[in-house]
Amino acid sequence: MDRFGVLIVCVTVLLAAAIPAATTGSQKDDTPSTNDTLEEGAGKDLVVKKCSVCHDLERIPARRRDRFGWEDLVDNMTSRGADITTEERQTIVDYLTAHYGIPD
């Protein structure tokens, strides 16, 4: 009888230890791929196309700017060789201000 009692205790302890380990093991965080760092929205495709030519896109969400700040930055990129027309500049600045602007 005593041995049987010890066995029951052992099995219970093992099960209690195994169950939480099994449930926590299945919870994995989905880390976003580095290729898709930008928020969805009108103008995103253009930004991805025009702004990933020389560097990755991760520096865009790194710092928030107001509309003037983004206009300035896009002009700066154009002076470095970015191929952006006046209409594209407008779309890009609108996108950047909407998603990475400075909230009021």
Q: How many CA atoms lie within 13 A of 101 on its CB side?
A: 14
Contact between 93 and ligand HEC by CB under 6 A: the answer reads no
Stretch touching ligand HEC by CB under 6 A, among 6-14, 17-25, 30-38, 77-85 = 77-85
DSSP code, position 61: T
Q: Determine the Cα–Cα distance for residues 66 and 53; give it in Å rounded to an integer.
A: 24
Among 7, 11, 59, 72, binds ligand HEC (CB under 6 A): 59
Contact between 97 and ligand HEC by CB under 6 A: the answer reads no
Contact between 54 and ligand HEC by CB under 6 A: the answer reads yes
* 80 neighbors 54 (Cβ within 8 angstroms): yes
How many other C-beta atoms can be found within 10 angstroms of the C-beta atom of residue 43? 19
Give me the residues that bind ligand HEC (CB under 6 A), please.
Answer: 50-51, 53-55, 59-60, 63, 73-74, 77, 80-82, 84, 92
